[in-house]
Amino acid sequence: MKKRVFAMLMAAVMAFSLVACGNKTDNGGDAADTAETIKLGGVGPLTGCYANYGLSVQHGAELAAKEINAAGGVNGKQLEVNFQDSQGDPESAVAAYGKLMDWGMNVCLGGVLSGETASVVAAAKADDMFIMETTGSADKCIDGNDKAFRICFYDSYQGTAAADYLKDNALADEVGVFYQSDNDYSAGLYSAFTAECEKVGVTIKETQTFTTATNTDFSTQINALVSSGVKVVFIPIYAEEASTFLTQAKGKFGEDVYFFGADGLDGILGKVAQDVTIANNVLMLTPFVAESTDEHVQAFVKAYEAAYGATPDQFAADAYDAVYTVKAAVEAANGSTSGAELAKAMTSITVEGVTGTMTWNADGNTNKAASAILYYGGEGSVFSADTAADTAADAGDTVADAGTDTAAE
């Protein structure tokens, strides 16, 4: 009889345990709100040719979490950060997202590249998973998921802003374009840029393209752009491909020609470390300037350099701001990590980040200002009429010196 009663009690306990497990929501739900930690998961290329972007995002997120934890956490809870390697592949990114769900992720930091981000956001839609996207900028990245928000600029904004910047700063009335036609990021910027150029009266004089299968020899495209005589070449591409283009283009364009791109160019100096002058006259539209005198930015730069031995790029800055934004959203949601509650909180918060002062629209996109960085001689500076004049003077001195050396020989 005793054995029978004991067996019945054990069955009841097991049944209760199963019901309790069944009541747990996909992203931890109520259990997450009472847990000791908040688990943040990210997906990105930690290996391969785009690993510099993924590692920057990972490091930026980890640094922010470390600072927040040292200051007491979020509503008394510590943050855990787990990054999984996507290898830059959308299918691998979904598999990496699945690993993070198995780990017990409460908030997703999305992907790094646009293609993988779109895949992760789509996979997360059914999980009530809040996504604080770091750097996936293609417009479609967060489409169709009302629990997905992002820190970075979106592509149509960047393309439009680039055209407006050219016009507002009287850089050129005619431009050339070199973009990757089979890449979401590049094609998205190109489309928005050309549409805005037409509106503001900037003429696209020459357009050249390439694909993933033709990304090693750009001689034909370079010759066409040089022959067009344009003073600005818009290059909405990633630093990996830009380094190849600029290396092959060195010495073929005039010293007064600018190569103008957006956030994908971040990290270009590292890609041409063998000869940093390859990146001379590269102009990059970005919300983050490591050389800024802002105290908040400089504190971040100093901490990042101490931790990782490198100057942070925009990808690291976006991830750093993303984690602090998660903190602000969780606090505004009274400690909840529910996707619906965090999404509701996002449109009510303002975050003073290292990439600027940020607010968010209901569509998930952020509002913040952009600057342009000009690279010359291995250094970047905020672009203005003065820096343009200084660069032209430096270029003139270089040409003069070269002429003197030749004459001396």
Per-residue pLDDT tens digits for 72-100: 999 999 999 999 999 999 999 999 999 99
Sequence-distant (≥ 6) Cβ neighbours of residue 351 within 8 angstroms = 321, 324, 325, 328, 357, 358
- Average pLDDT over every residue of 45-56: 94
Q: What is the 3-state secondary structure (H, E, C) of 2-71?
A: HHHHHHHHHHHHHHHHHHHHHCCCCCCHHHHHHCCEEEEEEEECCCCCCHHHHHHHHHHHHHHHHHHHHC
Same domain, yes or no, for 174 and 261? yes
Handedness of CA 159, 163, 169, 175 (dihedral sign): positive
Task: State pLDDT tens for residues 92-151.
Answer: 999 999 999 999 999 999 999 999 999 999 999 989 899 999 999 888 899 899 999 999
Q: Which tokens is 222 given? A: 């370079």
d(CA 116, CA 295): 34
Q: Considering its fold, how many domains does the chain have in total? A: 2
Q: How many CA atoms lie within 13 A of 143 on its CB side?
A: 10
Q: Is the pLDDT of residue 5 over 90?
A: no
272-301: burial string, b at 16+ Cβ within 10 Å, e else: beeebebbbbbbbbbbbbbeeeeeebeebb
Q: Which tokens is 157 given? A: 């904004």
Quick one: which of 194, 159, 189 has its CA closest to 176?
194
Cβ atoms of 160 and 196 within 8 Å: the answer is yes
Same domain, yes or no, for 105 and 146? yes
Same domain, yes or no, for 129 and 55? yes
Residue 24 in any domain: the answer is no
Residue 16 in any domain: the answer is no
* Domain assignment of residue 279, given as a range: 156-286+378-408
Same domain, yes or no, for 197 and 179? yes
Q: Which residue has the higher pLDDT, 197 or 389?
A: 197
Give the pTM.
0.79
d(CA 86, CA 153): 22
CATH of the domain at 169: 3.40.50.2300
Strand partners, 285: 372
Q: Which tokens is 55 given? A: 């590692």
Same domain, yes or no, for 330 and 398? no
Where does the pLDDT of residue 386 fall: very low under 50, low under 70, confident under 90, or very high at 90 and above? low
What's the Cα-to-Cα distance from 384 to each of 76, 295, 322, 323, rounded to whole Å? 45, 22, 29, 32
3-state secondary structure of 311: coil
Same domain, yes or no, for 328 and 384? no
Q: How many CB atoms lie within 10 A of CB 99?
A: 14
Are β-strands 148-150 and 78-85 bridged in parallel, bridged antiparallel, or unpaired?
A: unpaired
The length of the chain in residues reads 409
Q: What is the pLDDT of residue 338?
A: 96
Same domain, yes or no, for 254 and 171? yes
**Burial grade of 125 (CB within 10 A; 0-12, 13-18, 19 or more):** middle
In this structure, of 91-100, 257-266, 276-285, 399-408, the range with the lowest mean pLDDT score is 399-408
